[in-house]
Structure 1
Amino acid sequence: MIRTHRRRRLAIKPIAASPLGRWIQPGTWIALYLALIALPLLVLLLGDRPGGGGFGWDFALALGYAGLAMMAVQFALTARFKRATAPFGIDIIYYFHRYLAVIAFMLLLLHAALLVAIRPEAVGSIDPREAPAYMTLGWLAMLAFVSIMVTSLLRKQLRIDYDVWRRMHTVLAVLGIAFALLHILGSASYLLTPFKRGLWITLALSAIALVVHVRVIRPWWLQRHPWRVTEIRQERGRSWTVAVEPQHAAAFHYEPGQFSWLSLRASPLAMREHPFSFSSSPTRPGRLEFTIKALGDFTATIGDLQPGMAAWVDGPYGAFGVDRHPDATGHVFIAGGVGIAPIVSMLRALADRGDTRPLWLFYGNRRWERIVFREELDVMAGHLDLHVVHVLGEPPDGWTGERGFITREVLARHLPAGRHGFHYFICGPKPMIQLAERSLRSLDVPATRMHSEIFDLA
């Protein structure tokens, strides 16, 4: 399953056993994030402050500082710190990152617009031949942030290759922060003391240091812990299962339903890694399996891989899985296409553990012959209390099962009345997830029991 850096439902994933522990760790990380945003702004109010600009001028400057602080902290959100992301799931963090980036950009845009409207003579010309260097750097920072927004939000429409986009995103982000720092140091509107200047320099350098950590130091460590492709197995529906085994002694622990970034055909330093869910189960140690559909970009040639090729695995990540909800009296899985991959990982684990709880799988596909893991699901239904409901968009002649989409009516026909203690796991294309979530809500399923993931590149 190709993973996105988003999750449909923003919900904290408690990992502690006690009710109090459920909220202490997430609350601590949220408080730390807010502190990182607020502290640089509060420090600006200490000691001497410039005067004579008026409320509008000061407000515009405050928007600029706030937007820059948020942009700097964005680097921490995507640094893949497992301890910080564990309470939420790293996909929620990336989803959070995406929205906060838009908000930060709007603050910076409003900052520039207000300054131009209130004091155009102070802003001066945008012509670098006439403008002070620090103002030109400010406009260059804004241009970098505009480029980030356009290429990120419209990547597919612009047909930008995913690997190319990731490199562009990193370079533009570093340039934007560097130019913005030089801009505020040159203007020095509120940075009147060495302490204040030092704090903002530290904030910007810390952001750049995180890029070095994610793009250089961690890939260097991964390169020293290689894996090897041991099997390429063709599945139904233009999908392939890639199996890898470690070439080092370090243990790899993961939960069913999680994912990793996988590097193939190039070292981790090349920035050509891709996020895929595990279809294997941790109950079968020794190797990892990823089931991947040939959709485009990197995945189009996944079937051309050969056993013996080098691979690198960065993970595990994610909070999508049954192990996070041991209190569930049963589970309902709703999958579309290759979105079955993390769900099969969970089903394999439950089967190996001898789980006896009732399970339902609603699996949507266009055609019968494209159903990934079709035969294995039939086998698992004999070892688990598993009820498999196939829903086909183009059913064959004589099909007597469900057809169309996984709607409220389909769910209501098959789910038992005593399902209030169940947890629901949804994975597939975005429209399918939206429909499934609406259908479950109409069946009075609480949002805290719905766990959704989208398998699509950012």
Structure 2
Amino acid sequence: MLTTSRFHLRFWPVWVSVGAVLGLWIACKWFHQDWFDDGFKYVAKASSLSATTLMCWCLVLSARFRALEDLFGGLDKVYQVHKRLGKLLCLVLAPHPLFLAAHRLPDVSAYLGYFAPAATLQDRYALGKDLGLAALIALCALVALSLRLIMRYEAWKRLHGWLGPVFLLVMVHVHLVDADVARYAPLRVAFWGMLLAGAASWVYIRLLYERFGPRHAYAVESIETVGGAREITLRPLGRPLDFKASQFVYLVIRTPPIPPEPHPYSIASGYSPDGRFKLGIKEVGDHTRSLAHLAPGDRTDVYGPYGRFSEPFFNRGRDCVFIGGGIGITPFIGMWHVALHSEERLRPDGMDSQLKARHPELSSDWTAPRIALFYVCRTREEASFDDDIRAQAEQSPLGGLEQARQAGFDYVLHESQTHGRFGIPHMRDVLGDRFPGRLFFLCGPTPMMEALAARLLDEGVSPLDILIEDFNLV
């Protein structure tokens, strides 16, 4: 759906929690003057405490909690932090068994014997050690498979479902080994609080989310297929979705043979008080291909909305450059609509304060930033939303693309097969001396976004002014 970004990822809540756990552990040992004789154990224990904290974060971050979306700057950023912690987790955890057995060196056979299964249920510590090693092996296998293999989204999601049973092994391991976590009450309370939060997050997202998550009942109003993409318009059957331009939702369709699994899709329309919105979906996998069986009138469940991509557009008062590659154009269509319809707004004194806070773009005292929208496709035939973008300009108070351009709203369809790889010169050709000082929003294929971000940095654009929608999970 979207792209990979290294910008604006907030790891500080994770590092603060890891530091707090390690600090509490050392403080407990100091208070009780309960120091290890074996120095290797400090590395082993620090490894296990840190890795378990990271694993708890991985589970909590996967649960789509709104508070965490606010804390990390959007659900796409939440998942990118989750993904990077998964890569780090095995590296942090590996020293735990290696250093626990280090006191047996230089006797290599005795050292290796530590890792042999005890094959007994009578010794709590030995059983806990075996379960811990099993959890480490299973965790490394899951991380390696999910990060190294090319797989369908459905397979990737099922693979992640096994993280819960692995985490259960970790919890049983912590209980059985009866180590520092059990010995010190403050550490025990804090650590088991984290473990239970992680377990509860897994139960929520795997078993309870579809029933108790932010669900809205919708029906398919119309379907249009253009250039290999489907434009699906949905209408509410009950409480409408209160969304902002560029946000995305998880769509669940219960019409066989379409798999009834939540899939994320960007909203390709501006805010509508009646709750109607459009999704732009390109056929790239089994689920998107199965949508050929969808028909008007079919019921769907929509979960969300999620995403913070458009907040700088609404709140920072800066002119913008939007660059959408392929299906990555969809988050920009709603913002393009909002900007072009700047004369169709409500009087501030006639708006509910809550509505104005949530949707400043509806108020006549909000000034739309000027926009340069670049739609990058290989050929015109692949530009599924070109007609929509042009139609919005025609239907706006401005009256057409030329009038929109004169008002400061530029639109360019860049066909890379004809005009070459899109880059800074193409932006400067359109913007001229209006290039500096703008916010740059990027969404599209990963190589394209990474190359553009690098070129923008070379041009002196601040990383804070480069906004990238980032939903490359697999």
Indicate conservation of the 8 Å contact 2:79/2:471, yes or no.
no
The match for 2:77 is 92
Given candidates 253, 257, 264, the residue that maps to 2:242 is 253
Determine if the alignment matches structure 1 residue 392 to structure 2 residue 426: no
How has the CA–CA distance of structure 1 residues 198 and 119 changed in structure 2, closer, same or farther, with 3 Å as cutoff?
Answer: farther
How has the CA–CA distance of structure 1 residues 126 and 34 changed in structure 2, closer, same or farther, with 3 Å as cutoff?
Answer: same
The match for 1:215 is 206
How has the CA–CA distance of structure 1 residues 405 and 9 changed in structure 2, closer, same or farther, with 3 Å as cutoff?
Answer: same
How has the CA–CA distance of structure 1 residues 317 and 439 changed in structure 2, closer, same or farther, with 3 Å as cutoff?
Answer: same
The match for 1:41 is 22
In structure 2, distance between residues paired with 1:48 and 1:283: 62
Given candidates 371, 374, 377, the residue that maps to 1:362 is 374
In structure 2, distance between residues paired with 1:234 and 1:151: 35
Indicate conservation of the 8 Å contact 2:282/2:327, yes or no.
yes
How has the CA–CA distance of structure 1 residues 48 and 126 changed in structure 2, closer, same or farther, with 3 Å as cutoff?
Answer: farther
Q: Given residue 45 of structure 2, which amino acid in structure 1 is its aligned partner? A: L
Determine if the alignment matches structure 1 residue 83 to structure 2 residue 67: yes
Given candidates 106, 109, 119, the residue that maps to 1:129 is 119
Structure 1 gaps of 5+ residues are: 13-28, 396-402
Given candidates 421, 425, 428, the residue that maps to 1:405 is 421
Given candidates 97, 101, 105, the residue that maps to 2:90 is 105
Query: SS of the residue aligned with 2:250?
Result: strand
Given candidates 194, 197, 203, the residue that maps to 1:203 is 194
Cα offsets for 1:392-411 (capped at 9, x unmatched): 2323xxxxxxx111122222
Indicate conservation of the 8 Å contact 1:283/1:349, yes or no.
no
Determine if the alignment matches structure 1 residue 447 to structure 2 residue 463: yes
The match for 1:165 is 156
In structure 1, distance between residues paired with 2:16 and 2:463: 29
In structure 2, distance between residues paired with 1:382 and 1:322: 28
Structure 1 residues 114-123 or 67-76, which shifts more? 114-123
How has the CA–CA distance of structure 1 residues 40 and 284 changed in structure 2, closer, same or farther, with 3 Å as cutoff?
Answer: same
In structure 2, distance between residues paired with 1:310 and 1:387: 38
Structure 2 gaps of 5+ residues are: 344-366, 394-400
Cα offsets for 1:7-27 (capped at 9, x unmatched): 341257xxxxxxxxxxxxxxx
What is the correspondence of 1:265-284 to structure 2 with a 5 Å cutoff? Answer: 265=254, 272-283=261-272
Indicate conservation of the 8 Å contact 1:427/1:433, yes or no.
yes
Determine if the alignment matches structure 1 residue 148 to structure 2 residue 171: no
Query: SS of the residue aligned with 1:86?
Result: helix
Runs of 4+ with deviation above 6 angstroms: none
Q: What do you get for the CA RMSD once the two structures are aligned? A: 2.8
In structure 1, distance between residues paired with 2:281 and 2:339: 22
The match for 1:400 is none
Given candidates 46, 59, 66, the residue that maps to 2:43 is 59
The offset of 1:185, in angstroms, is: 2.6
Indicate conservation of the 8 Å contact 1:278/1:345, yes or no.
yes
In structure 1, distance between residues paired with 2:382 and 2:260: 32
Q: What TM-score do the two structures reach when normalised by structure 1?
A: 0.84
In structure 2, distance between residues paired with 1:215 and 1:383: 50
Q: Given residue 242 of structure 1, which amino acid in structure 2 is its aligned partner? A: I
The offset of 1:436, in angstroms, is: 1.4
In structure 1, distance between residues paired with 2:458 and 2:189: 54
Indicate conservation of the 8 Å contact 1:226/1:310, yes or no.
yes
Structure 1 residues 86-95 or 123-132, which shifts more? 123-132
Aligned length: 424
Cα offsets for 1:366-399 (capped at 9, x unmatched): 112221222233342256332222322323xxxx
In structure 2, distance between residues paired with 1:165 and 1:126: 31
Q: Given residue 64 of structure 2, which amino acid in structure 1 is its aligned partner? A: R
Q: Given residue 155 of structure 2, which amino acid in structure 1 is its aligned partner? A: V
How has the CA–CA distance of structure 1 residues 118 and 233 changed in structure 2, closer, same or farther, with 3 Å as cutoff?
Answer: farther
How has the CA–CA distance of structure 1 residues 336 and 186 changed in structure 2, closer, same or farther, with 3 Å as cutoff?
Answer: same
The offset of 1:347, in angstroms, is: 0.5
